[in-house]
Chains A and B, each alone.
Chain A
Amino acid sequence: MVEEDDTVLVARARRGDGAALETLVRRYLRPAYAVALSVVRSVADAEDLAQDALVGALQRMDQCREPKRFARWLFQAVRHRAFNHLEQRKLRAALLEEETRGEMFGGDAAAVRLRRPLLEALEQLTETQREVVLLHDLEEWTHREIAAALAISEVMSRQHLFVSRHLLRQHLANGFHQERKHG
């Protein structure tokens, strides 16, 4: 059970246990990225925000009143940073800028080409739907874990996932057909 482990890990990390700290980073870096990506819809910005938010959260771990809900507390910090980021930069400008960044994934052109339709498809979803589908399909969290971290019910998590997958597939299929039509 993740919650119990988190309580122990947070307690150990608070005492300065480096191994516990690293385990928390490995466990939550990609989920934090998923939450940031849900808000900013930019891979590079989401990576930066996830790292910054995680560093900030780990430095202020004493303010985490419920260590068993570390994920929820962390995600709030990630969202806060992500929304602040959005206020500072217009989303469209950020997306355009990212397209020009060739350094992502070591300049893997195929990944960059695949990323764009996925990001566009994610635009069709609400923020919570994006969080659910990314945490489930990218991070492979269970609905129980997602529900606990996002403060929603497991039923709601399942519904969000179902609707999100349907909308994403629809959008990706339309994009694929249009691409084929235009050669």
Chain B
Amino acid sequence: MDDERIDFFALDPKRDARRFERMVDTVVAGARLTPLSPLGLVHQLIVWGRAAVAISALAALTAWLPTLVRSSSNSGQSALGRGSDPVELLSSWARTGKVPAEVDPIEALGELDGR
């Protein structure tokens, strides 16, 4: 077995202790030039910001979904179901003399407007 170390003394930067200390000081000073804590804070804010946006989006979706479901079921219960011909419905009210609900003419005319 080749158990003996290779002597790398000539390549060792610690060979000159003073010079190595200057290298250490240079690196430490360089690393301190950009304060670490504010960097960490900014990074954390970005991380938290992403999480906050995701949570807000989820909350908005949760709040909006029931409203959407309710409105679609209401329109399904109305006398003017989607796909009905508004002109025909208004004619039938005129013919039969049946008084429509207050909402129905508005919805029918709305459909005429292309809404």
Contact = CB atoms under 8 A, between A and B. Distances in A.
Interface of A: 13-16, 18, 21-22, 25-26, 29-30, 33, 37, 43, 47, 51, 54-55, 58-59, 61-62, 105-106, 108, 111-112, 114-115, 118-119, 133-134, 136-138, 162, 164-166, 168-169
Interface size class of B (residues with CB under 8 A): 20 to 34
Dominant secondary structure of chain A at its interface with chain B: helix
Contacts of A136: 5
A112 B12 CA distance: 11
B32 interface: yes
Nearest to A117: B10
13 contacts: A16-B36, A21-B36, A29-B23, A43-B11, A54-B31, A105-B19, A114-B10, A118-B11, A134-B11, A138-B8, A162-B2, A164-B6, A168-B6
Dominant secondary structure of chain B at its interface with chain A: helix
Contact of A58 (B11, B19, B26, B27): B27
Nearest to A162: B2
4 closest A-B pairs by CB: A58-B31, A114-B10, A55-B30, A138-B8
A65 to B, nearest CB: 12
Given A14-B36, A25-B31, A105-B15, A118 B23 contact: no
